[in-house]
């Protein structure tokens, strides 16, 4: 039998999705499973987006431009202008979600064997994207003790070698909910400038900032305009994860011309997804204000509940809709599986993502889980009650 590729063997299973069979089994037993493992909001997708797809006027669903429908890209220019980011439609490439946009960026910026520095814990699929592109992740540790703040500049410099070609950040952060400050972004600018690196900034959670905090984009950084690659998406902004539309944006013309060749190789992004995305951009600020208020209430439920549990702790997230919590457990992978296989409280249980999958360094995150507060407040309270009861009886409890 032919052998599987080395790349395929290295590709990790998703910590977010690998426990799905256990969740399905729990449901077959009649249990309610609260899905806090995945960033799938229960907020309604804007009606205007759904109507645009229902009322698609053409008789043939054609390929779009490889770079994305021109009218969508022009609309995005206006969106970014509202956020004081000046771009042209030629500086935007639409992808099948931010995932494809990141792959375009990695394949355009790096050669196999190059290294990319990423503060960990980080979005688990960054590992998978890096393997796909043939590059190596050099993680630098950010600690729960600092609320997952940006590691000191010395840690970056220790990680940088002659193979290092870029830095990747997610701001606001998935999985930690940390929001990088203007000062932290300026620290990154200095590193990027000193070593002439690419800075890939995943900003898909831009709208989700709490307590009066403001998002500071990597596109605001002066002096590294040719180094910055912005990654964005409509998935979370408009609660439309399934339409699979994201973007890669850069002022670097050579980079964008190169990325366009990768975009042409996959022909075009999803047509209906682009139609929905373009229509969604007509929603008013009241949509975001209402959603932010709802997420803020969910955030407070999680923060207060976790920190009230004996031996558990988590920092107050400043952005996105995730938090990494430290729990009194021996192994987060075992614990998350046990929750689905062996535990129930009033015929309910909770599905979490083991944080071990959000680290690149083996052994880290074993006593941490990522929680997505994407369910309505009532269900968040029920899920937190389940978790509290589970920690009381978990056989592998530590501390």
pLDDT tens for 318-369 read 999 999 999 999 999 999 999 999 999 999 999 999 999 999 999 999 999 9
Same domain flag for 253 and 171: yes
- Which residues span the domain enclosing 229? 47-280
Is 77's pLDDT higher than 90? yes
Q: Residue 397 has what pLDDT?
A: 86
- If asked whether residues 88 and 227 sit together in one domain, one would say yes
Exposed (0-12), middle (13-18) or buried (19+): which is 20, by Cβ within 10 Å? Answer: middle
Mean pLDDT of 22-50: 94
Q: What is the pTM of this model?
A: 0.95
Contacts of 253 (CB under 8 A, 6+ apart): none
- Percent of the chain at pLDDT > 70 equals 100
**pLDDT tens digits, 128-187:** 999 999 999 999 999 999 999 999 999 999 999 999 999 999 999 999 999 999 999 999
Rg of the chain over all Cα atoms, to the nearest angstrom: 21
CATH number, domain containing residue 230: 3.40.640.10
Shared domain check, 333 and 270: no
1: in domain: no
Sheet holding 228-233: strands in order across? 92-95, 246-249, 228-233, 198-202, 164-170, 115-120, 136-141
* Same domain? 82 vs 198: yes
> Within this chain, do residues 152 and 270 fall inside the same structural domain, yes or no?
yes
C-alpha distances (whole Å) from 342 to each of 37, 147, 355, 371 are 18, 32, 20, 20
pLDDT (tens digit, 9 = 90+) per residue, 167-178? 999 999 999 999
The answer to whether residues 15 and 372 touch, using CB atoms and an 8 Å cutoff, is no
pLDDT of residue 341: 95
DSSP string, 106-142: HHHH--TT-EEEEEES--THHHHHHHHHT-EEEEEE-
For the segment 222-243, the average pLDDT, to the nearest whole number, is 96
Does residue 399 surpass a pLDDT of 70? no
How many Cα atoms occupy the beta-carbon half-sphere of 155 within 13 Å?
Answer: 17
For residues 305 and 384, give the distance between their C-alpha atoms in angstroms, rounded to a whole number. Answer: 6
The mean per-residue pLDDT over the stretch 43-67 comes to 95
Quote the Cα angle for 329-352-103, to 5°: 120
Asked if pLDDT for residue 62 goes beyond 70, the answer is yes
CATH number at residue 40: 3.90.1150.10
Residue 255 shares a structural domain with residue 375: no
- Give the end of a domain, one of 232, 252, 280: 280
Q: Is the pLDDT of residue 16 over 90?
A: no
Query: Distance between CA 141 and CA 145 in Å, rounded?
Result: 11
Tell me: do 269 and 321 sit in the same domain.
no
pLDDT of residue 15: 72
Instruction: Tell me, yes or no, whether 399 lies in a domain.
Output: no
Domain boundary (280, 299, 319) is at 280
The residue with tokens 């689905």 is 340
Same domain, 250 and 129: yes
Measured CA to CA, the distance from residue 378 to residue 383 in angstroms comes to: 9
Average predicted confidence (pLDDT) for the chain = 95
Taking the CA of residue 225 as centre, how many other CA atoms within 13 Å lie in the half-sphere pointing to its CB? 9
Q: Are residues 240 and 151 in the same domain?
A: yes
One domain, residues 40 and 51 = no
β-pair partners for 348: 32, 345
Residue 98 pLDDT class (50, 70, 90 cuts): very high
* Domain count along the chain: 2
Could you give phi then psi for residue 122, rounded to 5 degrees?
-140, 165
Do 197 and 275 lie in a common domain?
yes
């Amino acid at each position: 039998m032919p052998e599987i590729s080395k790349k395929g063997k290295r590709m990790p299973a998703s910590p977010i999705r690998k426990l799905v069979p256990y969740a399905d089994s729990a449901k077959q037993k009649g249990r309610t499973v609260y899905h806090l493992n995945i960033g799938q909001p229960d907020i309604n997708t804007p009606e205007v987006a759904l109507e645009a797809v229902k009322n698609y006027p053409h008789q043939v669903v054609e390929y779009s431009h490889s770079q994305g429908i021109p009218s969508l890209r022009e609309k995005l220019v206006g969106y970014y202008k509202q956020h004081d980011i000046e771009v042209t439609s030629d500086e935007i490439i639409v992808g099948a979600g931010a995932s494809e946009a990141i792959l375009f960026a990695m394949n355009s910026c790096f050669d196999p064997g190059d290294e990319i520095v990423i503060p960990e814990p980080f979005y688990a699929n960054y590992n998978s994207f890096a393997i796909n592109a043939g590059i190596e992740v050099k993680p630098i540790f950010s600690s729960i003790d600092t609320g997952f703040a940006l590691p000191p500049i010395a840690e970056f410099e220790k990680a940088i070698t002659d193979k290092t070609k870029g830095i990747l950040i997610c701001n606001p952060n998935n999985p930690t909910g940390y929001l990088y400050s203007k000062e932290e972004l300026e620290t990154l600018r200095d590193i990027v400038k000193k070593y002439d690196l690419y800075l890939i900034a995943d900003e898909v959670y831009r709208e989700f900032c709490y307590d009066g905090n403001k998002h500071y984009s990597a596109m605001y950084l002066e002096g590294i305009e040719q180094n910055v690659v912005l990654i964005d998406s409509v998935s979370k902004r408009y609660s439309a994860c399934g339409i699979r539309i994201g973007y890669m944006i850069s002022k670097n013309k050579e980079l964008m011309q190169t990325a366009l060749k990768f975009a042409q190789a996959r022909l075009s992004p999803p047509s209906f997804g682009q139609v929905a995305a373009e229509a969604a951009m007509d929603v008013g600020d009241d949509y975001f204000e209402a959603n932010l208020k709802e997420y803020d209430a969910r955030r407070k439920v999680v923060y207060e509940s976790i920190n009230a549990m004996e031996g558990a702790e988590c920092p107050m997230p400043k952005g996105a809709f995730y938090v990494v919590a430290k729990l009194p457990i021996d192994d987060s992978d075992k614990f998350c599986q046990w929750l689905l296989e062996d535990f129930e409280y009033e015929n309910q249980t909770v599905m979490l993502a083991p944080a071990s999958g959000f680290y690149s360094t083996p052994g880290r995150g074993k006593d941490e889980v990522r929680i997505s507060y994407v369910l309505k407040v009532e269900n968040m309270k029920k899920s937190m009650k389940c978790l509290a009861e589970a920690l009381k009886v978990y056989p592998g409890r530590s501390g």
